[in-house]
Amino acid sequence: MDPGIDAQLRRQSLWLRESWLWLMRTKVMPGYPAGTKPTALDVGCGPGFVMEHMRDVCHVKGVDIDPEMVSSARARGLAVIQGDAHDLPFHDGEFDIVYCTFVIMWLKDPAKALSEMARVSRRWVICLAEPDVGARIDHPEELGEVKDLVIKGIRSEGGDPLVGRKLRGLLGSCGLEAEVGVHAGVWSLEKLRQESEDEWRYIETAAGGLGRTEDLARAREAWKKALDDGSLFQFSPVFYALAKKDEGSHR
């Protein structure tokens, strides 16, 4: 697996771990007897970083289309098989909870994948994290082009950088009514300092295929200056959506 992809996936899982577990413990777990762990499926699980966190609250399996990701997850002792999110290799209602993380944005047919997630779930279909780069804020003004570069870069790779705002409609197309919210995402200045190099590695990777090296260099210099003088502000909204199925429904 590409070390850069591995590092970014690990970063994302660490940022959001506490928020994910809070959602599970306050929104999902109260529906199950105390002391029990429901079964869960992680769709598009990648190397399994989120699965490792979810094991605190669920008996979790994973599925991913990439054999390299499957091998990486299995090497750490996780129960993962290879499969396509658009045609999940599981029975109707096989899991209590079916969730995904930073996956819907990359799928060719997200509604089809969510319909499959609903089919194999007994109760919950959850998008734990999907971004909306269109709502990203970078300040000062000289950093305004960062958002545009990341959006164009994601689109050039076949992704949807605005998928966060579409989650309610996508789940609604599968007959599911979703509770949609946004994870806390405003970093302190100290956190920005700690994450600065990795954040810029992500930005440059996302926009790398556009050939805008001069624009990136100019924006990075403005970022560094704002970080040094304490005026830097950055917010990248990441949305979640929780949908509970009707009892007995295996659509």
Q: How far apart are CA 100 and CA 65, in angstroms?
A: 13
pLDDT of residue 208: 75
Say if 250 falls within a structural domain: no
pLDDT of residue 246: 82
Say if 181 falls within a structural domain: yes
CB 152, CB 222: distance < 8 Å: no
Q: Characterize 113-127 residue by residue with b for buried, 16 or more Cβ atoms within 10 angstroms of its Cβ, and e for exposed.
A: bbbbbbbbbbbbbbb
Q: Which helix (H) or strand (E) holds 68?
A: helix 67-75
Structure tokens at 25: 């413990």
Say if 69 falls within a structural domain: yes
pLDDT of residue 98: 98
Q: Facing residues of 42 across strands?
A: 62, 99
Say if 251 falls within a structural domain: no
Say if 23 falls within a structural domain: yes
Which long-range contacts does 13-16 make (Cβ < 8 Å, 24+ apart)? 13/49, 13/50, 13/52, 13/53, 13/101, 16/128, 16/129, 16/183, 16/238
Say if 164 falls within a structural domain: yes
Say if 77 falls within a structural domain: yes
Q: Hunting for tokens 């990439």 — which residue is that?
A: 66
CATH of the domain at 239: 3.40.50.150
pLDDT of residue 35: 86
State residue 208 phi and psi, 5-degree precision: -65, -30
Residue range of the domain that includes 16: 3-244
Q: How far apart are CA 13 and CA 129, in angstroms?
A: 10
Say if 235 falls within a structural domain: yes
Structure tokens at 199: 């954040």
| Three-class SS state of 134 | helix
CB 128, CB 181: distance < 8 Å: no
Q: What is the mean pLDDT of each run of 10 residues along the chain (251 residues)?
A: 62 86 94 92 96 94 97 96 98 98 96 98 97 95 91 92 97 96 90 90 82 88 95 94 78 48
Total domain count, the chain? 1
